[in-house]
A and B are shown apart, each in its own frame.
Chain A
Amino acid sequence: MLTKKRPLPWSVLSLLSRRAAHLARQQYDVIVVGGGHAGTEAAAAAARVGAETLLVTQKIQTIGALSCNPSLGGVGKGQLVKEVDALDGLCGRAGDWAGIHFTILNRKKGPAVWGPRAQLDRQRYREFIQSELLSTPRLTVLEGSVEELLVTEPNPEEPGHHRVTGIRLANRSQPITASSVVLTTGTFLSGALFMGQTMSPGGRFGDAPSSAGLSHTLRERLGLRTGRLRTGTPPRIVKDSVDLCQAELHLPDTHPTPFSFLNKHTRCKPEEQLPCHLTTTTPGVERVVKESLHLNCHIQQDTKGPRYCPSIESRVLRFPGRSHQVWLEPEGLTSDLLYPQGLSMTMPPDMQLRLIREIPALRRAEIHTPGYGVQYDFVCPTQLSPALQVKNTQGLFLAGQINGTTGYEEAAAQGLWAGVNAAHWALSLPPVALSRTESYIGVLIDDLVCRGVTEPYRMFTSRAEFRTSLRPDNADLRLTLKGSEEVGCVSSLRYREAVRVRDSLQDALAALHALTLSTNKWRNKLPGLQMSENKNTLVTAGELLQYNHVSFEMLASVFPESLSPYAEFSQRLKIEAVYKPYCDMQKKEIERIQREENMSLPQDLDYFSLPVSLSQEVREILDRVRPSTLGSATRLQGITPAAVVNLLRYVHATNAGLKGRTHTNQPERKEERDEERCARNASLPQ
């Protein structure tokens, strides 16, 4: 299903968008501010759900730009990409279009923690995202700078509660109104760039700083608590100046695995892929860092930094005397730059050059663009609901770095979910929630809104307690069906494919369990089979598949008639067979948590006056976090089992009523949407 359509050339693109801008209406269902990973997913998702959507960005050219590393996925992050794709998001297909070096990380460590990852061609990625957005029905893209976020005065009946009404752009007197606004401003909220001893306002090198009006509205009018975080990016290095022979060669997988469940192959042919190189730092690097410390504002201010090491400076200061890895990654098929992953730095440019030249492979390297640090404001995400809506402002949604996360995948995941909920809000559909028991997106959002952040939040597989069940291979089964039936953000094409896959897997597993032979017969048919069971014990093919050295292909060779129809699912069937017992064990716990998550707690509960025996400490925690369900209350630190039981009196199970509404409201819109989708797909040259 990989779209072979050539993205539109630059000039046409901007022309089309500007025309759209010219025709821009004064009123939308959803306005998305920002065109990064969060913003593009949010806008596309809102439009897919059926909302008239406007995407406002400072520069149309930078929509879909990879501001930092030219790669997508990885361990934990790869799961997020698969999940975004399963909900029909953009980044998985964009990765398949733009990828130039595909690998599955952790290949030897078990399918639950496989990390699909790709190096990307920056230009191809941007092209894909832009052409995709431009051809999305109901979505308008507008270039402009948001001067002000429009919100109502607090409702006198509910003090402190606002409602968003739209935005006002710079150089435009008329406001644009909308029921929902999604803010995805990344590092631009009071952003400041650092290099050496210089500091300049901005969120990304080369882009204008965003207006102070937005910051002001969030902090002063809505009273949102904000914090400050820092990040950074390494210098880009001229490829020709690097002696790659001195670095270790790392080749991609010989058969690239696409991210998207819709794609059978990637755009880049296996043999066209580019390699990566690995090198390490030397004691000289440490010396340069220490010598330049007094010239390094960003690092000097690093009083309460994150627990991990965001820059080469923090690495050598915290773990001195070691050598640290530096990956030299290609920036694109035709790009003449390399991205040195692991060398994020904020010292003055001349010191940056000195530093990289301490590494043998970079001895004669030239810097194209120096590295720099960014400090920016984020909104403490505990002020958001699980729909990523600001609790005290109806219709205002936040996604991406503004919520204190780091990474493209984390941003994309939030963007998609905020976009879906913004559309639901605008169309008067009930909010939708993803549980941490069913997805990494759910883990991400639950961690953010319940626990908050003290350092840029990044996804790790160890954050997902049900990792065994939340695998990259089954993201479609977990999310696509729900995404279509409950959320309404999945095309009928993808939905039909997911149903086909689910049914085939079920049939195949049933077939495997219906095939029974004695141990002895299995040994005869599969020479070399190691089994110690009694020779007359009956064993099904499904059980046999749980053995390490038994593959689906081996079984299909014994029973070609019943099994060969399922050959395309051989890997998934093997994984299902091995993991099934462990997933079954987790099921009970998952069901318990889901039951608790279906019990919602009223948002206006006055925890200090509840006539139950709760300690002052517990009341304070509950008042601060205002958990939206009993499940999230249970997970809060400091909440005792007794406190949870005392809360039982105030919960109401809303779920049953909720589902009913979703279904009754949707059919018409959905059909209309599906038709458009199909028409679009049909028009793409295959």
Chain B
Amino acid sequence: MFPFVCRGIMRAAIHTRRISRGTLPGRLLSSCDGVPAGLADADTIFALSSGHGRCGVAVVRVSGPASATALRCMAGLTRSSLPPPRKALLRCITDAKGKEVLDRGLVLWFPAPHSFTGEDSVEFHIHGGTAVITAVLQALGSVPGMRPAEAGEFTRRAFQAGKLGLTEVEGLGDLIHAETEAQRRQALRQMSGDLGRLYQNWSHKLKRCLAHVEAFIDFSEDELIEDGVLNQVDTSVCHLQAEMERHLKDERKGERLRSGVQVVIAGATNAGKSSLLNTLCQRPAAIVSPMAGTTRDIVETALDIGGFPVLLSDTAGLRDSPDVVEREGVRRARERVEQADLTLVVVDCAHLLTDAQQAVDVLQTHLMCVLSSQEQPETDRCLLVLNKSDLLPECERQKLDREMRRVSGLPPVCLISCHTNDGLQDFLTVLHSSVKTLCGDPLSGAPTLTQARHRAHLQQCVAALAQYKRHRDTDLALAAEGVRLALTSLGRITGRVAAEEILDIIFKDFCIGK
């Protein structure tokens, strides 16, 4: 079986080279060039499949037809020597050109159909540091035909290959939902700044390019579409390609994005949010005062909770204020809550009535109000912290504590006092377990991974734009296909572009008859 598979792959590899030679008259490609990344079998995927944080070994999975190519390029294997199936092999792991050694680790080769997804698969077991993981993911992204996996894609392929039973699929929807959400939050954190604007701007320009090429294809024979339209597209595509290439080469990373689970403290004014921050980081990081509205900006601090990296943010108390500065503070607070992996909703427990049912109602309303900026308020990503327990009489406190343990329909509730540190130990245990769960998800908390993903998509985008230029004068249909692929790649960062959006632009920019 094995030699057969091997020959098959070699044939495929040679075939690919021939094709590229054929479609690129006048240019001889080196063996690693192949078909541009965005255009080859766009269907081999990779992802970090282990969690981050306190881990010694990280596992990166690859699945799809180009898996063997990736393995050979990055584990320094010659064409004929793939490792025996499903046997770990210790190799130096290099970048895709085989020049720079990134790490020393185990590689495993799972030829189809005996793999998790039923496709050819490879696993890289590497050291768990962020730098190593990022480097390996970037290297994979530069192998022709590879792209980062979308949320749940491995599992979905496994299902489609008949590798998962229906019972195993039960939890899959939730898992994919969680992954999609985590990616969305992560992207949101990065996209809210200049980078986001840059990507959006590219996407906007690319949409126009595609709309104009499509208009020229579909309508120029019957309607008045000036020839100049295509020249403008040529210029735009050139500029975009150059800009993206410059961006990919730019070594300045901008503001350092700090790793860690994003935990945000939020709640009404004077609930003791800043006190909670100070208690958690064991230093007076934020100013506290009995005056409502003391905290106006975000106060951030990096913490280690039970060995997991946490980025803790204190925010302004949520209230309507006539003060311009405070209003901005509240806006930022809401933005942070939207991007948070975990929200600590702090409530002054003196505001809770002793009647348990009423207390639950008050808390639920309050929770919805605080989380309202999230697209779908998710109570499973939040903890309720009832502060100032020291101000309650002992009997009231115990009663409240008992009631809160009984009720359902609320996120975990902790009754604490930042003043006396009463209940703090229990709270830390709950917080630790939440953070641990979040760190098990490879997608939350590591901005460098998102950067690596973006990078891979941008590389594909640039490669696809080259297809436009290559076919511009000979076959406009194939050229347009290049722009379309470029937009699809960029859309994996900025959001999918529907065919109707392109038609909207066409009908807005050109007078198209019946």
Q: Is the CB of A308 within 8 A of B512?
A: yes
When distances are taken between beta carbons in the complex, the residues of chain A under 8 Å from B152 are 641-642, 645
Determine how close the nearest CB of chain A comes to the CB of B22; give it in whole angstroms: 4
Q: Is the CB of A548 within 8 A of B474?
A: yes
Determine which of B43, B177, B223, B508 lies in contact with A325 in the assembled complex, contact meaning CB atoms within 8 Å.
Answer: B223
Q: Is the CB of B218 within 8 A of A76?
A: yes
Total residues of chain A contacting the partner, CB 8 A: 72
B113 contacts chain A at the CB level, 8 A cutoff = no
B18 contacts chain A at the CB level, 8 A cutoff = yes
Cα(A358)–Cα(B214), bound, Å: 32
B503 contacts chain A at the CB level, 8 A cutoff = yes
A588 contacts chain B at the CB level, 8 A cutoff = yes
When distances are taken between beta carbons in the complex, the residues of chain A under 8 Å from B476 are 106, 108-110, 113
User: In the complex, which residues 477-514 of chain B have their Cβ closer than 8 Å to any Cβ of chain A?
Assistant: 477-479, 481, 484, 498-499, 502-504, 506-508, 511-514
Determine how close the nearest CB of chain A comes to the CB of B100; give it in whole angstroms: 30
Q: Is the CB of B511 within 8 A of A322?
A: yes
Q: Is the CB of B478 within 8 A of A582?
A: yes
Which among B49-57, B164-172, B388-396 touches the partner chain?
Answer: B164-172
- Size category of the B interface is 35 or more
Cα(A495)–Cα(B214), bound, Å: 35
**Contact of A324 with B224 at beta-carbon distance under 8 Å, contacts A465-B499, A641-B176 already known:** yes
Cα(A406)–Cα(B512), bound, Å: 14
Determine which of A344, A465, A547, A646 lies in contact with B514 in the assembled complex, contact meaning CB atoms within 8 Å.
Answer: A344
Q: Is the CB of A547 within 8 A of B174?
A: no
When distances are taken between beta carbons in the complex, the residues of chain A under 8 Å from B41 are 585, 588
User: In the complex, which residues 513-535 of chain A have their Cβ closer than 8 Å to any Cβ of chain B?
Assistant: 530-534
Determine which of A105, A310, A547 lies in contact with B513 in the assembled complex, contact meaning CB atoms within 8 Å.
Answer: A310
When distances are taken between beta carbons in the complex, the residues of chain B under 8 Å from A532 are 25-28
Cα(A452)–Cα(B512), bound, Å: 21
Q: Is the CB of A315 within 8 A of B513?
A: yes
User: In the complex, which residues 458-478 of chain A have their Cβ closer than 8 Å to any Cβ of chain B?
Assistant: 458, 460-463, 465, 467-468
B155-199: CB near A (< 8 Å → 1, else 0) gives 010011000001001101110110010000000000000000000
**Contact of A645 with B173 at beta-carbon distance under 8 Å, contacts A109-B217, A325-B224, A585-B39 already known:** yes
**Contact of A645 with B512 at beta-carbon distance under 8 Å, contacts A546-B23, A585-B39, A589-B43 already known:** no
B376 contacts chain A at the CB level, 8 A cutoff = yes
Q: Which chain B residue shows the least CB distance to A595?
A: B160
Determine how close the nearest CB of chain A comes to the CB of B333; give it in whole angstroms: 26
When distances are taken between beta carbons in the complex, the residues of chain B under 8 Å from A467 are 477, 481
Q: Which chain A residue shows the least CB distance to B41?
A: A588
Determine which of A74, A460, A547, A642 lies in contact with B22 in the assembled complex, contact meaning CB atoms within 8 Å.
Answer: A547
Determine how close the nearest CB of chain A comes to the CB of B509; give it in whole angstroms: 10
When distances are taken between beta carbons in the complex, the residues of chain B under 8 Å from A307 are 503-504, 507-508
When distances are taken between beta carbons in the complex, the residues of chain A under 8 Å from B355 are none
When distances are taken between beta carbons in the complex, the residues of chain B under 8 Å from A642 are 151-152, 173-174, 176-177, 180
Cα(A74)–Cα(B513), bound, Å: 14
Cα(A465)–Cα(B21), bound, Å: 26
Cα(A322)–Cα(B512), bound, Å: 13
User: In the complex, which residues 633-647 of chain A have their Cβ closer than 8 Å to any Cβ of chain B?
Assistant: 637, 640-643, 645-646
A603-616: CB near B (< 8 Å → 1, else 0) gives 00000000011010
Q: Which chain A residue shows the least CB distance to B481?
A: A468
A543 contacts chain B at the CB level, 8 A cutoff = yes
A427 contacts chain B at the CB level, 8 A cutoff = no
B19 contacts chain A at the CB level, 8 A cutoff = yes
B251 contacts chain A at the CB level, 8 A cutoff = no
When distances are taken between beta carbons in the complex, the residues of chain A under 8 Å from B25 are 530-532, 547-548
Q: Is the CB of A110 within 8 A of B42?
A: no
User: In the complex, which residues 438-470 of chain A have their Cβ closer than 8 Å to any Cβ of chain B?
Assistant: 458, 460-463, 465, 467-468
Q: Which chain B residue shows the least CB distance to A316?
A: B511
Determine how close the nearest CB of chain B comes to the CB of A332; give it in whole angstroms: 21
Determine how close the nearest CB of chain B comes to the CB of A297; give it in whole angstroms: 19
User: In the complex, which residues 12-47 of chain B have their Cβ closer than 8 Å to any Cβ of chain A?
Assistant: 18-19, 21-23, 25-28, 35, 39-43
Q: Which chain B residue shows the least CB distance to A319?
A: B511
Q: Is the CB of B42 within 8 A of A589?
A: yes
When distances are taken between beta carbons in the complex, the residues of chain B under 8 Å from A645 are 152, 156, 159, 169, 172-173, 176
Determine which of A76, A108, A581 lies in contact with B19 in the assembled complex, contact meaning CB atoms within 8 Å.
Answer: A581
A210 contacts chain B at the CB level, 8 A cutoff = no
User: In the complex, which residues 214-232 of chain B have their Cβ closer than 8 Å to any Cβ of chain A?
Assistant: 214, 216-219, 221-224
Cα(A547)–Cα(B474), bound, Å: 10
When distances are taken between beta carbons in the complex, the residues of chain B under 8 Å from A406 are 514
Cα(A342)–Cα(B506), bound, Å: 18
Q: Is the CB of A462 within 8 A of B376?
A: no
**Contact of A641 with B151 at beta-carbon distance under 8 Å, contacts A309-B512, A585-B41, A615-B376 already known:** yes
A370 contacts chain B at the CB level, 8 A cutoff = no
When distances are taken between beta carbons in the complex, the residues of chain B under 8 Å from A22 are none
Cα(A6)–Cα(B217), bound, Å: 38
Cα(A463)–Cα(B499), bound, Å: 7
When distances are taken between beta carbons in the complex, the residues of chain A under 8 Å from B514 are 231-232, 308-311, 344, 406, 458
Determine how close the nearest CB of chain A comes to the CB of B485; give it in whole angstroms: 9
A648 contacts chain B at the CB level, 8 A cutoff = yes
B475 contacts chain A at the CB level, 8 A cutoff = yes
Q: Which chain A residue shows the least CB distance to B473?
A: A548
Q: Is the CB of B477 within 8 A of A110?
A: yes
B150 contacts chain A at the CB level, 8 A cutoff = yes
When distances are taken between beta carbons in the complex, the residues of chain A under 8 Å from B479 are 110
When distances are taken between beta carbons in the complex, the residues of chain A under 8 Å from B156 are 641, 645
Determine how close the nearest CB of chain A comes to the CB of B196; give it in whole angstroms: 21
Q: Is the CB of B174 within 8 A of A578?
A: no
When distances are taken between beta carbons in the complex, the residues of chain B under 8 Å from A76 are 218
Q: Is the CB of A110 within 8 A of B475?
A: yes
Q: Which chain B residue shows the least CB distance to A471?
A: B477
A75 contacts chain B at the CB level, 8 A cutoff = yes
Cα(A548)–Cα(B508), bound, Å: 35
Q: Is the CB of B173 within 8 A of A115?
A: no
When distances are taken between beta carbons in the complex, the residues of chain A under 8 Å from B170 are 649
Determine which of A232, A581, A641 lies in contact with B150 in the assembled complex, contact meaning CB atoms within 8 Å.
Answer: A641
Task: Pick the most buried of A231, A342, A585, A646: most chain B CB atoms within 10 A of its CB.
Answer: A585
Cα(A642)–Cα(B181), bound, Å: 10
A131-168: CB near B (< 8 Å → 1, else 0) gives 00000000000000000000000000000000000000
Q: Is the CB of A309 within 8 A of B169?
A: no
Some 30 contacts from A to B, beta carbons below 8 A apart, are A74-B221, A74-B222, A75-B217, A110-B475, A110-B476, A111-B477, A280-B224, A309-B511, A309-B512, A315-B511, A325-B222, A327-B222, A458-B514, A460-B214, A462-B214, A462-B218, A463-B499, A531-B25, A532-B25, A534-B28, A543-B18, A543-B22, A578-B475, A585-B40, A585-B42, A637-B498, A640-B180, A641-B176, A648-B169, A649-B166
Residues of A within 8 A of B (CB): 74-76, 105-106, 108-113, 115, 231-232, 280, 307-311, 315, 318-319, 322-325, 327, 341-342, 344, 406, 458, 460-463, 465, 467-468, 530-534, 540, 543-544, 546-548, 578-582, 585, 588-589, 595, 612-613, 615, 637, 640-643, 645-646, 648-649
Question: Which 4 A-B pairs have CB atoms at the shortest separation, nearest pair first?
Answer: A110-B475, A110-B477, A646-B173, A546-B22
